[in-house]
Amino acid sequence: MQNIPSVNLSDFLSDKPEKRQKFVNEIGKAYEEIGFIALKGHFLNDALVENLYSEIKNFFDLPIKTKQSYEIEGLGGQRGYVSFGKESAKGKKEGDLKEFWHFGQYVENNPELASEYPDNVIVNELPKFNSVGKEAFKMLEKTGIYVLRALALFLDLDEHYFDNYAINGNSILRPIHYPPITKEPKNSVRAAAHGDINLITLLMGAQGKGLQVQNHKGEWLDAIAEPDELVINVGDMLSRHSNNRLKSTIHRVVNPPKEKWGTSRYSIPFFMHPISEMPLNCLENCIDKDHPKKYDDITAGKFLNERLIELGLLKK
C-alpha cells in the first residue's frame, strides 16, 4: 500500500488556474507533513526508462576491474563509479550495501560554471550508456524545475524564484545497484537511515518494498510508487531554506526478506542541487514569532562540502 500522497504534474502544466492551484496546495501540504510525494505526469517516457535500466544493468554487470577503472580519485565520488560499501550514512561506520555511478550536470551557455564542475566520465565499453544517461538527466531536471516552481508559489515566492539557482545546478543522477546479499549483513543495510543533502530528490525505481519513510511519530512507512510514478522528496537544503516549513524526511532502503537475498535491486535517484553560490539563508516569509530562525546563513556549496566530509566521500 502506498503511504505517500500521489499528485499529477499535468495539473500544474494545465492552463486552468484552479488545477494549477490544486497541485500547489497538494504538494505543499504533503511536504509540510511528510516530505514525500509520488508524481505522475513527469517528462520521462517508457522507452527512455527502459533504455536507462538496460544500460545501467549492462554497466553493473561489467567485471569489477573494469568498473573500478572508472573510479576517479580525488573527486569525492562526484562523477563516475563508486564501489561497493564505500559510502556510509551520516554517523554510521558500516558502509551501505550498494555500488553506484554518477552522471553530473551538462552545463549550457555558462563556460564559467562548466569549468567549476568535473567532466562526466565516458564508459568505453557501452556506446549508448552516456547518451541515455544524459537524456534521462535532462528530463528529470526539467521535471524538478516544475516541482520547484510549484513550491515557490506555495512559499509565496515568485514562480521562477528557483530557476536561476537550479538550472545548470550541481545536480547528480545516481544509478544504484544493490547486489544480491550473500551472507548475513553485520549492521549493514542497503541504505541506512538518512536525509538527502540537496533541494529535492526525484527517484526512479520505488516499485516494490524496500524504500521506507519515517513519519513524525518515528514510525517507518513503506513508500511504494506505481510503475509510472517518481517518488520526490525534500532535501536538507530546501528544508533549511524554508526554515523547516518543508520537511526533509529521514528514509532508508531495508534489506529484503531472506528468500529474496539472491536478487539485485536497482534504483535511480536524481539529486537536484542548486549552483554553489545559492544562499540557503532562511527565507524571511518562513520566519515569525512562532517559527524563529533555526539555521545559520550558509551557501549551498559550503553546505554540500561539509556533508560530503561527514559521509566520508571527501577528506577534511
Per-residue DSSP letters for 286-314? Answer: G-BTTB---S---BHHHHHHHHHHHTTSS
Cα 10 to Cα 147, 167, 185, distances in angstroms: 11, 21, 43
* pTM of the complete model: 0.90
Q: Rounded CA gap, 32 and 12, in Å? A: 19
So what's the pLDDT on residue 92?
A: 47
So what's the pLDDT on residue 1?
A: 36
For the chain, residues with pLDDT lower than 50 are 1, 88-89, 92
So what's the pLDDT on residue 274?
A: 97
Residue closest to 60 by CA, chosen among 21, 6, 101, 15 = 101
Residue closest to 66 by CA, chosen among 121, 114, 141 = 121
Cβ neighbourhood burial of 66 (10 Å; 0-12, 13-18, 19+): middle
pLDDT digits (tens, 9 = 90+) for 88-112: 445 545 556 789 999 999 998 899 9
C-alpha cell at 45: 517516457
So what's the pLDDT on residue 96?
A: 64
So what's the pLDDT on residue 218?
A: 82
DSSP classification of residue 76: T
Specify whether the CB–CB gap between 139 and 49 falls below 8 A: no
Q: Rounded CA gap, 280 and 297, in Å? A: 6
Q: Which domains does the chain have, with CATH numbers?
A: 6-310 (2.60.120.330)
DSSP classification of residue 95: P
So what's the pLDDT on residue 41?
A: 95
Residue closest to 211 by CA, chosen among 200, 226, 220, 222 = 222
